[in-house]
Amino acid sequence: AQSVSQHNHHVILSEAASLELGCNYSYGGTVNLFWYVQYPGQHLQLLLKYFSGDPLVKGIKGFEAEFIKSKFSFNLRKPSVQWSDTAEYFCAVIGGSQGNLIFGKGTKLSVKP
Amino acid sequence: KAGVTQTPRYLIKTRGQQVTLSCSPISGHRSVSWYQQTPGQGLQFLFEYFSETQRNKGNFPGRFSGRQFSNSRSEMNVSTLELGDSALYLCASSYGGEANEQFFGPGTRLTVL
């Protein structure tokens, strides 16, 4: 079965620090990859997605992610975080015949002002 | 365009009761997916409906069921509630094509006492 692993449960950073959140998936075939964000009290929103093409994907609010097929990874990055980036981040995959999103357990990001 | 709406936003039930949750997708979207979000298990896929037919199903017991109406609105039913069913239930809609972006609603917070 497909699965998604997010390495960090809770990350605490100061403003202006760089961010990298790890995500690994288990499916060996063609995958579509997503990062969603859930701000406190708000619903899940799509940050970025990868379907094909350039493995470096840019999303909203300065976030980007790199798909590395050989490592089954899709890590999320941001060069300089802001207090408003405090949220929970979810990596998700759709692979093969599955039409549904398989989510990682999420990473809580706390940014100290 | 109005987003995905879910009603009610909060529900408190007791063990053994049943509950029905409702989801109205974004206009034009024909696919509705349901997810359960808990602190321990994260986001887990329940089922997906497309054009009134269940297209995909997760690994949940038969107490969890759903349906979709001709206007794409969807309902989810949980019978014989258990304490462990306490969760945030999220609905997501999409156009329904392969790996279409899913847009999430705010969720229904179900508490089972």
Comparing alpha-carbon positions, the chain A residue that sits nearest to B107 is A43
Residues lower than pLDDT 70 in chain A: 96-98
Q: Which tokens is A107 given?
A: 């990473």
How many angstroms separate the CA atoms of A77 and A58, rounded? 10
Cβ–Cβ < 8 Å for B42, A105: yes
How many angstroms separate the CA atoms of B87 and B45, rounded? 13
Give the HSE-up count for residue B70: Cα atoms under 13 Å, Cβ half-sphere: 0
Max CA pair span of chain B: 39
* Residue B32 pLDDT exceeds 80: yes
Q: Average model confidence (pLDDT) for chain B?
A: 94
CB contact under 8 A, A43 and B42: no
Q: What is the sign, positive or negative, of the torsion defined by CA atoms of B22, A87, A93, B100?
A: positive
User: What pLDDT sits at residue A97?
Assistant: 63
CB contact under 8 A, B48 and A98: no
Cβ–Cβ < 8 Å for A93, A2: yes
Provide mean pLDDT across the span B23-33.
Answer: 95
pLDDT tens profile B50-97: 999 999 899 999 999 999 999 999 999 999 999 999 999 999 999 887
The single residue listed with the structure tokens 């990596």 is: A91
Interchain CB contacts (distance < 8 Å): A and B? 48
Q: B33 to chain A: which residues are within 8 Å by CB?
A: 100-101
User: What pLDDT sits at residue A96?
Assistant: 64
Q: A90 to chain B: which residues are within 8 Å by CB?
A: 42-43
CB contact under 8 A, A99 and B106: no
How many angstroms separate the CA atoms of A53 and A85, rounded? 27
Comparing alpha-carbon positions, the chain B residue that sits nearest to A30 is B99
How many angstroms separate the CA atoms of A83 and B30, rounded? 37
Q: Which tokens is B96 given?
A: 């329904």
User: What pLDDT sits at residue A19?
Assistant: 97
User: What pLDDT sits at residue A27?
Assistant: 80
| List of E strands, A1-113 | 4-6, 10-14, 19-21, 23-25, 31-38, 45-50, 56-58, 64-68, 73-78, 87-95, 102-103, 107-112
Backbone phi, psi, residue A42, to 5°: -115, 170
Cβ–Cβ < 8 Å for B35, B18: no
User: What pLDDT sits at residue A33?
Assistant: 93
Task: Say which residues have a Cβ less than 8 Å from residue B84's Cβ, sequence separation at least 6.
Answer: B112
User: What pLDDT sits at residue A30?
Assistant: 82
CA-based nearest residue to B7, from B112, B109, B113, B111: B109
